[in-house]
Amino acid sequence: MLLSLGVSLALFLALLLSLVLLLLGVGFFTTPWLVHAVRMHANQRRALAAHWAGLTVLAPYRPLPPGPRGVTGHVERTVRLLKDPATWRDLAWLITDAVAGFLLALLPAALLAFAAEGWVIFAGLWRTVAGDYWYAFIHVDSYGDAVGCAVLGSVFLLIALFVNPYLFTGHFRLARALLAPTRGALLARRVEQLYETRHDAVDSSAAELRRIERDLHDGAQARLVAMGMSLGAIEALVERDPARAKEMIAQARENSAEALTELRDLVRGIHPPVLAERGLGDAAKALALRMAIPVEVDVDLPGRFPEPVESAAYFAVSEVLTNAAKHAGAERVWLDIHHAAADGGMLRIAVTDDGRGGADLAKGSGLAGVERRLGQFDGILALNSPPGGPTMITMEIPCHPTKPA
């Protein structure tokens, strides 16, 4: 009740005054801070809706512009905030919350208090107020009236027990109606997300092609060219100097073996054979066996998944395990891979190490690359790495099995 009538009404009046002061220029300095305060207040109500009523209310706000620099920066920041439809929905919610929200918060407490009043009258208050007091439609004048007050109080208590949950939930449903993103906002956010993931996919594909081209040019291609030159020299020496020709043939054989090994490694880097033949679970186990530190693997998968999903998950696990071995100073790693069908089909991967902790997505390109790779499949990456460890990285990819185990 205090948040609705006090804070919401105060913020509404302050923001309204700040918008009026835009005409004098002062509002360009006060409006951004007040909008930020309103959003903090609205986010608190979203949290209360989730904790107290089990209602999920997403935040519809566009990313905030960078901090203002000079008068132009304040003007630009204010204009961008006012162009966000969520700002005006918050303003409408403030006044609605101050009136309707306050009443919906007040009524449950008022019903309980009114029910308790009937029993307080019956407990002896009627002697003090006899002849001068009304309880609802009962004029309190005698012990019989006090009994009637107790009965009526019990009726109000039953009504409160039945109605209060709906009133209580209605308060947060009212907030959700104004604070939740509209369907258009959700679609716009989805389009923006798809636009970003498409660019990430294109950039990742281009980077992968450049890596393959570089590996071929610097490795196998150079060896094959050298081998071709050696064969030409052998052809010229085979009759004049057979012994030298035999040495060059042996060297060419070594070059061909090394080129074949590099080609196999390159193909394994594109799509590991064990992943193609045995699936994600066995590929992850094989990957764990090649690590320099012990990795405990727990896999519970119902079958095979689409090849792009398995490939993205495999290379994500590879990157995370490599980071744990190289940078975390870990002595042991735990890898858990399972699929949750109850959540609409979700492949979950958790990697935990006992290293030094302190990992940060913003400080390295490895985990950021994993996050972009998963984003192409609407996947997410969550990092929990307090200083001193342990570090836990959770990855989720929405998907369904394509082949049973």
Let me know whether 289 and 389 are in one domain: yes
User: Of 146, 179, 212, which residue sits at a domain end?
Assistant: 179
The answer to whether 269 and 314 are in contact (CB under 8 A) is no
* Residue 13, domain member (yes or no): yes
Q: Which residues pair with 392 in a beta bridge?
A: 352, 384
Same domain, 364 and 393: yes
How many domains does one find in the chain? 3
Return the SS3 of 391: strand
Asked, for residue 184, whether it belongs to a domain, the answer is: no
Domain limits for position 390: 278-404
Co-location of 119 and 153 in the same domain: yes
- pLDDT score for 9: 92
- CA distances for 166 relative to 1, 104, 161, 172, 247, angstroms: 16, 9, 10, 10, 91
Q: Within its chain, how far is the Cα of 233 from the centroid? A: 62
**Dihedral through CA 34, CA 37, CA 38, CA 39, nearest 10?**
120
CATH of the domain at 394: 3.30.565.10
Cis peptide before 294 (omega within 30 of 0): no
pLDDT at 182 (0 to 100): 74
- The residue among 127, 148, 179 that closes a domain is 179
In a domain, 319, yes or no: yes
Indicate whether 361 belongs to any domain.
yes
Give the pair of three-digit tokens for residue 349: 């991967």
Same domain, 216 and 282: no
Do 164 and 259 lie in one domain? The reply is no
Residues 249, 327, single domain; the answer is: no
Helix-helix angle 242-270:183-215, to 10 degrees: 170
User: Residues 57, 165: one domain?
Assistant: yes
> What are the tens digits of pLDDT across the range 283-305?
888 888 888 788 888 988 888 88
Kindly give the parts of the chain with pLDDT less than 50: none
Residues 42 and 119 in one domain: yes
Are residues 256 and 392 located together in one domain of the fold?
Answer: no
Residue 187 resides in a domain: no
Closest CA to 381 of 404, 397, 402: 397
